[in-house]
Amino acid sequence: MPTWPEGSPRTDGPTARPARRLKVLCIVSGGGHLEEAVECFDAFKHTDLRVVAYKHRGEMASFSHPRVLRVRLVSLFGAKGWRLYLSLVVNLFEFLWIFLRERPDLLFSTGSEITIGPFILGKLLWRTKNIYLETVTRISQCTVTAHWVYRWSDLFLVQWPHQKAMFGPKARYEGRVL
């Protein structure tokens, strides 16, 4: 079971508390990004897993998975232009509230612009560990989101071997999810 590292405060010695499970926040949009994320849920079987997605997606209103403890929804006013930018600004405040409530240790995402703000906020304010998985549909070019979150990711996974050269030394190829 993933727990805090040995020697961390109160994990050993006479005043030790039982190790708590890691809190993972999976940040996705609907559709293919959600499908890829669900395929990765088994990797988080010994954690407290929560999902954050956009409100407007009909599929998220009824989404449930045995590994997911809670689904939180954030605003999306439009998928293009100024409405998308408005959504991203409003999302920053929504994610601040979610971080205060959930206190995640790790953020995981399979892409989409919903990921950018939380990865930066989490790293700067809560020192979260961030894992990003580039979508399998991008074979010859990278997503804009991947370029934004690359420097904020602790583990940056690609699903095509040649993509390692497109990103840099932090990118790792471990195989495909789908």
CA distance 166 to 158: 10
Number of domains in the chain: 1
Look at residue 11 and tell me whether its pLDDT is greater than 60.
Answer: no
Residue 157: strand, helix, or coil: strand
Beta strands in the chain (DSSP E): 23-27, 48-54, 68-74, 106-109, 129-133, 155-158, 171-173
**Is residue 115 in some structural domain?**
yes
Residue 57 is predicted with a pLDDT of: 57
Residue owning tokens 């890829």:
36
- Asked if residue 37 is part of any domain, the answer here is yes
> 129-153: per-residue pLDDT in tens?
999 999 998 888 899 999 999 999 9
Give pLDDT tens digits for 65-79.
999 999 999 999 888
Q: Cβ of 45: how many Cβ atoms within 10 Å?
A: 11
Domain with 95, as residue range(s), is 23-173
Whether residue 102 is contained in a domain is answered as: yes
Q: What's this model's pTM, rounded to 2 decimal places?
A: 0.87
DSSP H helices in 52-155: 58-61, 81-102, 116-121, 144-149
